[in-house]
Amino acid sequence: MSRIKEFNLPDLGEGLTEGEILAWLVKVGDTIELNQPIVEVETAKAAVEIPAKWAGQVQAIFHPEGSTVEVGSPIIAIDTDPDAGPVQGSTTGAPASDRPVPSAASLAAVEVAPAEGAVEPGLIGGPAPGGRTAVLVGYGPRTTAAKRRPRKDTAQVTSVPVQSPPAQVVSAPVPPTATPANGNGRHSGPVLAKPPVRKLARDLGVDLGALTGTGPSGSITRDDVQRAAAPAVEPSTVTTSVSSAASFGTDREQRIPVKGVRRLTAENTSRSAFTAPHVTEFLTVDVTRAMKALNRLRERREWRDVRVSPLLLVAKAVLLAVRRHPMVNSSWAGDEIVVKEYVNLGIAAATERGLIVPNIKDAGRLTLRELADAMTGLVQTAKAGRTSPADMSGGTLTITNVGVFGVDTGTPILPPGESAILAFGAVREQPWVHKGKVKPRLVTTLGLSFDHRIVDGELGSKFLRDVGDFLADPEATLLAWT
């Protein structure tokens, strides 16, 4: 059996065609273990660490950080038996210009990773139920060619003589203030850090391998990275410095590549905007009683450790209104309308990577406490950059909370395949006629966009009215509807 094996970017099983290499977690010459994370890849849906399919020694890295790689392209070569001596014909360590044309013997030593069966089922890169591969990224047919982002000050890659052309990799400099992890200033094993932390480290030029993590299980946190970069960047200005440093060229223009989540969002919103005929209706509601009900809920013993926000009541209102108007929770399928009995409730979330819409599966079957816990977990996972592709697929109805940005309401665009999306605006104290007198009341404005092929004006109006009725008096409405 060939001892040097190429690992291809895995087939994602959902029509995904490419991913961007965010960070290499190993370098040429490193000895790695089975299932050790070796590379962090960002796709249209998630940033995911891919584990090694084999134990051995890294012989080649074919694409540098920042490259967009097509599914099925080799990204790394691993010597599965490094103790057997050098591979015949190998030129590892030689500059690319000095490498001879690969011989038949050297090419025979390279084996391309099989599509399935190389790792334990269920692990990333391994077979999953239904013949799919358990890995990363977005979805949709490929419509454009893969592009590579140019990088500066790249170092030459060391490589074995394989058919794929060698590429370049970049090593971030170790700052003088970094705290060594051991005697030689490097971690002896893989570095534990979340994708947003790795991105921050790359932006600030911090070598994660030279830091000692203060997070759970020794993981490296954002504070660890910012402390290491403190002499160069003041902690209070980290965000602005990263985003503004060398952002503009001599023409005073900035060019940002459209990829990952931004690219998927653009494709989805454009397709939805010009496919589904949108209608948006608005309703302004006095939510004073709802806010008082939330305060009473927070005071209950069993809810004191639970994150309770107005969005929780909006989600409950939507789920109850769907029971009364099931057609709102449906999708257009050309010759038929598919009405769902289940509600996979999407919550739009703004993250460092862009807008994502993870959803709570079968939210209509959850109790209010279960719904609160699910929403808290969804938000925390999204902020940490760990939302999986499965969490963002299969949504049936969405809420976007523009109120957290101080916005009154909006005309949201439908996620593809959904027939309605509700915008929840800011809750403000405003003058309001209450019991015949003008009084200060807590007021919000709702905006409901819906697909007019499925939801006509009457149905959309009744659905929005029911959501508003619940928010105006949740306790009385809940008793009346259940």
Over the stretch 129-149, which tens digit does the pLDDT of each residue have? 444 443 433 333 334 444 444
The string of pLDDT tens digits covering residues 285-294 is 999 999 999 9
**Spatial separation of the C-alpha atoms in residues 34 and 94, rounded to whole Å:** 27
**Spatial separation of the C-alpha atoms in residues 320 and 382, rounded to whole Å:** 26
What is the reported pLDDT for 246? 45
What is the reported pLDDT for 53? 87
- pLDDT over 90 (residue 444): yes
Average pLDDT rounded to a whole number, residues 447-458:
94
Tokens of 448: 């409901």
Average pLDDT rounded to a whole number, residues 346-371:
90
The span from the first CA to the last CA of the chain, in angstroms, equals: 66
- pLDDT over 90 (residue 382): no
Thinking of the domain 172-251, which architecture would CATH place it in?
Irregular (4.10)
**Spatial separation of the C-alpha atoms in residues 128 and 389, rounded to whole Å:** 14
Average pLDDT rounded to a whole number, residues 6-26:
77
How would you class 314 by CB atoms within 10 Å of its CB: exposed for 0-12, middle for 13-18, buried for 19 or more?
buried
What is the reported pLDDT for 184? 47
What is the reported pLDDT for 283? 97
- Cα angle: 36, vertex 40, 42; to 5 degrees: 145
pLDDT-above-90 percentage for the chain: 39
- pLDDT over 50 (residue 181): no
Q: Which of 33, 32, 37, 6 is nearest to 114 (CA)?
A: 6
Q: Is 442:424 a contact under the CB 8 Å cutoff?
A: no
What is the reported pLDDT for 97? 39
Domain boundaries, the chain: 1-171, 172-251, 261-481
Higher pLDDT, 415 or 236: 415
**Fold matches, 1-171 and 261-481:** no
**Spatial separation of the C-alpha atoms in residues 217 and 312, rounded to whole Å:** 33
What is the reported pLDDT for 160? 40
**Spatial separation of the C-alpha atoms in residues 361 and 304, rounded to whole Å:** 25
Q: Which of 334, 321, 287 is nearest to 399 (CA)?
A: 321
What is the reported pLDDT for 187? 52
- pLDDT over 80 (residue 477): yes
What is the dihedral angle through the alpha carbons of 384, 389, 395, 399, rounded to the nearest 10 degrees? 20
Higher pLDDT, 182 or 87: 87
Gyration radius of the chain's alpha carbons: 26
What is the reported pLDDT for 323? 96
pLDDT band for position 1 (50/70/90)? low
Average pLDDT rounded to a whole number, residues 457-472:
97
pLDDT band for position 273 (50/70/90)? confident
- pLDDT over 90 (residue 437): yes
What is the reported pLDDT for 46? 66
pLDDT band for position 385 (50/70/90)? confident
- pLDDT over 50 (residue 166): no
All residues at 6 or more sequence positions from 93 whose CB lies less than 8 Å from its CB, including other chains: 158
Q: Fill in the amino acid letter for 224.
A: D
How would you class 262 by CB atoms within 10 Å of its CB: exposed for 0-12, middle for 13-18, buried for 19 or more?
middle
Higher pLDDT, 225 or 232: 225
What is the reported pLDDT for 40? 84
Is 1-171 in CATH node 3.30.300.30?
Answer: no
Tokens of 403: 């109120």
- pLDDT over 80 (residue 186): no
Q: Is 272:451 a contact under the CB 8 Å cutoff?
A: no
Please confirm, yes or no, whether 452 is among the known catalytic residues: yes
Least confident of 53-57, 199-203, 319-323: 199-203
What is the reported pLDDT for 230? 60
The string of pLDDT tens digits covering residues 96-129 is 334 444 445 444 445 444 444 343 333 434 444 4
- For all residues of the chain together, what is the average pLDDT? 76
Query: Whole-model pTM?
Result: 0.56
- pLDDT over 70 (residue 156): no
- pLDDT over 90 (residue 199): no
**Spatial separation of the C-alpha atoms in residues 214 and 222, rounded to whole Å:** 10
> How many other C-beta atoms can be found within 10 angstroms of the C-beta atom of residue 271?
13
- pLDDT over 90 (residue 465): yes
- pLDDT over 60 (residue 172): no
Third-level CATH fold of 261-481: Chloramphenicol Acetyltransferase (3.30.559)
Of these ranges, 67-76, 212-221, 382-391, the one predicted with the greatest mean pLDDT is 67-76
- In angstroms, how far is CA 350 from the centroid of its own chain? 10
State the catalytic residue, choosing from 278, 325, 434, 452. 452
What is the reported pLDDT for 322? 97
Q: Fill in the amino acid letter for 168.
A: Q
What is the reported pLDDT for 294? 94
Least confident of 67-71, 259-263, 455-459, 478-482: 259-263
Of these ranges, 194-208, 346-360, 460-474, the one predicted with the greatest mean pLDDT is 460-474
The string of pLDDT tens digits covering residues 302-339 is 898 888 999 999 999 999 999 999 999 999 988 899 99
What is the reported pLDDT for 120? 39
